[in-house]
Amino acid sequence: MKIIDRVGSPSDVKKLDRAQLDELAAELREEIVSVVLSNGGHLSSNLGVVEIVVAMHRVFDCPKDKFIFDVGHQCYAHKLLTGRREAFASLRRLGGLSGFPQREESVYDCADTGHASTSVSLLCGIARACPDSQVVALIGDGALTGGLAYEGLNDLVGLGSNAILIVNDNGMSISRNVGLVPGVLNGLKADVKSAKASLGALGLDYIRVADGHNIDALCAAFEKAKRAKRPCIVHVDTVKGKGYAPAEEDSERYHGYSKPQSDVVAFSDVLGETLADLADKNADIYAVTAAMKGGTGLSAFADRHPDRFFDVGIAEAHAVCMSSGLALGGKKPYVAIYSTFLQRAYDQVIHDVCINDLPVTFCVDRAGVVSGDGPTHQGVYDISFLRELPNIAICCPKDTEELRAALEWSVGFDHPLEIRYPKGGAPAAYDRHTPIELGKWDFDPDEVLLADKVVLACGAQSCAEAVKAVRKAKDMGIKTAFVNARFAKPLDVELLDLIDDREVIAIEDGVIDGGFGEAVRNHYARRDSDIFPKVKVLGYADGLYPMGEVSEVQRLCKTDCAAILRALEE
């Protein structure tokens, strides 16, 4: 029998002999690797903290004591030790275990997390609310490059002795760490005595663990932290990807692992290559990302134009504000960022880019539904929260060829611009491609003139489903036209006025409230005309959007081909 077979809850970890803990750590790694290579998920970040999590459950009494996992992508060992091993094979699948902490999933999870740098603020709040509990936050993978972490650290000095912050120092964000923070951490490690004195003057205890894979050393440090009379920082060195050679050698690639799709050209790859090509001809083009060089496809740009590439760490607000400074200095910055992370820079998008009407282009990856990661990572809000802002245009290419054309067109566009596209490659192939013009949609004029019903599809995922539905509708004898509504803002008002005597279905890769479909309805409502066509809006209704494959989420949220076809029949 394996050691892990004897662990159904954290109390079982406390019953094991010391020698069995190392075996348990090895078995945890085996299960994590097996499931993640099958299902996808965060691999190297989870492998690096296995001993830390084992020691946490050995020393503390969760759920009375509260565990906070920054980002949440280091919680797999925690899930396996807290009664979720039988369900672990369902990780990131529809109806299965989340890849992040989820309170509704287990009493051992005290906060739902999915974005970086929140743990210190959560620690401050929960420690104040639960003075009789030890509150332990695990932060790492570059989350200390995010400004929110420093707002929390500024407040940490006012807390009681029940607040413990474990700093998992593996030298990495998703990509390699950048900027000042790694040097500060190295300085603390180089002179522990001075670090203790300096942090002590601020009202914090400091404990150093040089080998974060030594369970004895970790348990001793955590026991000492429990006895501290004030908030305590436990600084631990680990190896990201520990125990799985490919992840140790290339922790960035295995940070968020998914099975390779060699036959699909990814939007992110097209972004990186196209921007690099454009920068060959234009010295004013700069590329900026927030710790996501590989994920956003900018590795090619960084290799070819290192002096015009900036990875600012997990600091999305700074990335956007700094890019506005580049634009004020006469440059043409492109900010490559995931939809779900652009939310973190909303004030800078408004205040520093849109109000100043600066030519900053946001290349927004993972727009629409994202498989596996669940509610914290669904990229369905950006159309709605950007549409209302002044000066910005929103372009939604249907495929990688149209993305390339949009990027080429954007070089001459001197205003804020979002270009959004989903993870991976285009979900459909198209024969028709027309030149990009601001606010002009792509459609077959003859098809539109003959149609009784028109489907306006905004976004690559919606376009793919709409094309299939229109083909089926035509086979059923329904006179239907497909329109690639590739600008969510501005709208193609000329086309909208042309089809005001038809039935219109507007579908988008985003939320309905404040989105593209509502903008279409509002256009008809606001114009000086007695004609108001029937407009059916399909998109993501108010609520949270489930974890699963893209097709599964589309089916459940009624944004798939079948839902469009039903709307056409009705």
Catalytic residues: 240, 316, 344
E-state strands within 15-119: 41-42, 66-69
The rounded distance, in Å, linking the Cα atoms of 87 and 333 is 45
- Pick left, alpha or beta for residue 41 (phi over 0 → left; psi -120 to 50 → alpha; otherwise beta): left
Helix axes 18-39, 50-59, angle to 10 degrees: 130
Q: Cite the beta strand spans of 427-502 per DSSP E.
A: 442-443, 453-458, 480-484, 487-489
Distance CA 570, CA 567 (A): 5
- The Cα 223–Cα 220 span in angstroms is 5
Can you point out the beta strands (E) in 252-360? Answer: 256-257, 285-289, 309-311, 332-338
The gap between the terminal CA atoms of the chain, to the nearest Å, is: 59
Residue type present at position 44: S
**β-strand partners of 535:** 504
Which DSSP category does 366 fall into?
S
SS3 255: coil
Measure the CA angle with vertex 304, ends 299 and 308; round to 5°.
85
Sheet holding 417-420, edge to edge: 309-311, 285-289, 332-338, 361-365, 417-420, 393-395, 487-489
Pinpoint the alpha helices (H) of 60-140. Answer: 76-81, 119-129
